[in-house]
Amino acid sequence: MRLRTVLYFMRQAFVSLSRNGWMSILSVATVAIALFIIGSFFLLVANANAIASQLESDVRIVAFVDVSVPREEVLEIREKISKDIDGVVDVQLVPKEEGLKKLGERFGENNNLITALGGKNPLPDYFIIRAEQPQEVKNIARAVDGIDQVEKVDYGGKVIERLFEILRWVRLLGWAAMVMLTGAAVFLISVTIRLTVYARHKEINIMKYIGATDWFISWPFFLEGMILGLIGAAIALGTLYFSYVSLIQNLTLTLNFIPFISDPVFLGRTLCWLLLLGVVVGALGSLISVRRYLKV
Q: Which residues bind another protein (CB under 8 A)?
A: 2, 4-5, 8, 202-203, 205-214, 216, 296
Q: Which is nearer to another protein, 90 or 203 (CB)?
A: 203
DSSP characters over 137-194 = HHHHHHHHHTSTTEEEEEEHHHHHHHHHHHHHHHHHHHHHHHHHHHHHHHHHHHHHHH
What is the nearest approach in angstroms of another protein to the Cβ of residue 184? Answer: 32
Residue 184 pairs in a beta bridge with: none
What is the nearest approach in angstroms of another protein to the Cβ of residue 291? Answer: 12
Q: Which is nearer to another protein, 4 or 106 (CB)?
A: 4
What is the nearest approach in angstroms of another protein to the Cβ of residue 199? Answer: 11
Q: Which is nearer to another protein, 131 or 217 (CB)?
A: 217
In one letter, which amino acid is 96? Answer: K
What is the nearest approach in angstroms of another protein to the Cβ of residue 208? Answer: 7
Q: Which is nearer to another protein, 208 or 269 (CB)?
A: 208
Backbone angles phi, psi at 275, to 5 degrees: -60, -45
Q: Which is nearer to another protein, 15 or 33 (CB)?
A: 15
* Contact predicate 64/150, CB 8 Å: yes
What is the nearest approach in angstroms of another protein to the Cβ of residue 1? Answer: 9
Neighbour tally for 64: CB within 10 Å: 16
Q: How far is Cα 85 from Cα 99, in angstroms, rounded to an integer? A: 25
